[in-house]
Amino acid sequence: MSGWRAFLVLFDTAGANLSMENLNSAVENLVHGSNTLFILLGAIMVLAMHAGFAFLEVGTVRHKNQVNALAKILSDFAVSTLAYFFIGYWVAYGVTFLAPASELTSSSGYALVKFFFLLTFAAAIPAIISGGIAERAKFAPQVCATVLIVAFIYPFFEGLVWNGNFGLQAWLTERFGAAFHDFAGSVVVHAVGGWLAFGAVILLGRRNGRYREGRLVAFAPSNIPFLALGSWILIIGWFGFNVMSAQTLGSISGLVAVNSLMAMVGGTVTALLVGRNDPGFLHNGPLAGLVAICAGSDVMHPVGALVTGAIAGALFVWAFTATQVKWKIDDVLGVWPLHGLCGVWGGIACGIFGQQSLAGLGGVSLISQLIGTGLGVLVALLGGFAVYGLLKLLVGIRLSQEEEYYGADLSIHKIGANSQD
């Protein structure tokens, strides 16, 4: 009997160990699957934002350039995917996907879906630039610029900040007590995109007829409802952009969602007031607030987020007006004020309102934020002038005066937005 008892005890122990192993394996698979689904949903939400970029541009440009606006956003996304898959992701993270599918699908394919998510961020760069250079840019050179930017310039800075490349973040932490903090890309995505666009806009020059005898000639938006639709699509997708930048379910924070909401509202209200009920300013105000909150959405108090967004909304209205009227820079959608300047403000605001002394969670340094933000501006500014300057020298980047007169729709795509064109 004692032998049987020993056997039964051994059998029960082995069964318990086996059950525990099965349980641990099941839990691990569930965690991997849940994280993969989580970041996949985020990728889909940010992918939908590209429809927002398209309709925002369609509604803002003149009727003869609407088809071109739609074609640019989709073409840029496709080209960005190829550039980022084969080159850009490796530049940023040292990861390639030129491996057997059996290796790529480990952990429920999380690495693949993470690429998809970060791709939607990378592809936002040419979508931002598209709005600034609308109505007079050649199509093929712009696509070439997209390849260079998404393959090299954007991932270079992305890797510095989000992957710790070249020791920048480690040096900032050692020197100033905290790394450069940019949770969802106020600087990495938006400021970089806006300052890249600045170089392109300057090199392209103003649209024909935009200024007459030194005074601004109004080019009214072609379709306010489309403009508003684009804004709303971007607003909704932005919650995936920000919240799901956590990249795992275990890291998700309701603070990010509420801070995004408060910044959006703050930007809307100030743009409404400062912009004097102008629908263009009104529908860009929430976007300004959301651009600014990306960096510090995980560390600010909601009141700090509200102030950050409110300042961004007012900043956009002031800077857009000054750009068009005073400085005579023809940035069609105002992407430099919206993304470039509000992105810079977001990087700095993170270092202010993220401090524990202002009810933030801490772990940020204003000096690190200033250095990181300034470096992002420098990389983008140099990159924008280099890429578009080279293309301008080699193949030209602007439509002819006649092509611009007839519009990019007919000149490039040989079809108008409707049958009456």
What is the rounded average pLDDT of the residues 73-97? 97
Confidence of residue 64 (pLDDT cuts 50, 70, 90): very high
User: In this prediction, what percent of the chain has a pLDDT beyond 90?
Assistant: 85
Give ∠ CA 163-169-175 in degrees, rounded to 5.
Answer: 170
What is the rounded average pLDDT of the residues 16-22? 64
Indicate whether 10 pLDDT > 80.
no
pLDDT digits (tens, 9 = 90+) for 372-404: 999 999 999 999 999 999 999 999 999 999 999
Q: How many CA atoms lie within 13 A of 168 on its CB side?
A: 20
What is the DSSP code string of 51-91?
A: HHHHHHHHHHS-GGGHHHHHHHHHHHHHHHHHHIIIIIHHH
State the chain's maximal CA–CA distance in angstroms.
109
Which amino acid is located at 187 in the chain? V
pLDDT of residue 13: 54
pLDDT of residue 135: 98
The answer to whether residues 260 and 238 touch, using CB atoms and an 8 Å cutoff, is: yes
Out of 107-116, 222-231, 265-274, pick the least confident: 107-116
Confidence of residue 8 (pLDDT cuts 50, 70, 90): very low
Q: What are phi and psi of 211, to 5 degrees?
A: -130, 135
User: In this prediction, what percent of the chain has a pLDDT beyond 70?
Assistant: 95
Out of 102-106, 245-249, 342-346, pick the least confident: 102-106
pLDDT of residue 354: 98
The answer to whether residues 296 and 346 touch, using CB atoms and an 8 Å cutoff, is: yes
Indicate whether 17 pLDDT > 90.
no
Q: Is 400 helix (H, G, I), strand (E, B) or coil?
A: coil
pLDDT of residue 23: 72
Phi-psi bin for 99: left (phi > 0), alpha (psi -120 to 50), beta?
beta
- Spatial distance between the Cα atoms of 35 and 308, rounded to a whole number of angstroms: 30
Q: What are phi and psi of 291, to 5 degrees?
A: -60, -45
User: Which residue in the block uniquely carries the two structure tokens 């990378």?
Assistant: 122
Work out the burial of residue 336: count CB atoms within 10 Å of its CB; fewer than 13 is exposed, 13-18 middle, 19 or more buried: buried
The answer to whether residues 90 and 164 touch, using CB atoms and an 8 Å cutoff, is: no
The answer to whether residues 416 and 73 touch, using CB atoms and an 8 Å cutoff, is: no
CA distances from 187 to 253, 316, 342, 343, 345 (A): 21, 16, 9, 5, 9
Indicate whether 114 pLDDT > 80.
yes
Indicate whether 18 pLDDT > 60.
no
Domain boundaries defined on the chain? 2-413
Dihedral of CA atoms 329, 57, 339, 195 in degrees, nearest 10, equals -50
pLDDT of residue 249: 85
pLDDT of residue 31: 80
Q: In 10 A of CB 112, how many CB atoms?
A: 17
- Report residue 257 CA to chain centroid gap: 17
Mean pLDDT, rounded, of the chain: 94
Dihedral of CA atoms 43, 46, 50, 53 in degrees, nearest 10, equals -170
- Spatial distance between the Cα atoms of 181 and 161, rounded to a whole number of angstroms: 8
Fold of 2-413: Ammonium transporter fold (1.10.3430)
pLDDT digits (tens, 9 = 90+) for 148-182: 999 999 999 999 999 999 999 999 999 999 999 99
pLDDT digits (tens, 9 = 90+) for 343-378: 999 999 999 999 999 999 999 999 999 999 999 999
CA distances from 257 to 19, 143, 244, 245, 295 (A): 39, 34, 10, 11, 13
The answer to whether residues 260 and 302 touch, using CB atoms and an 8 Å cutoff, is: no
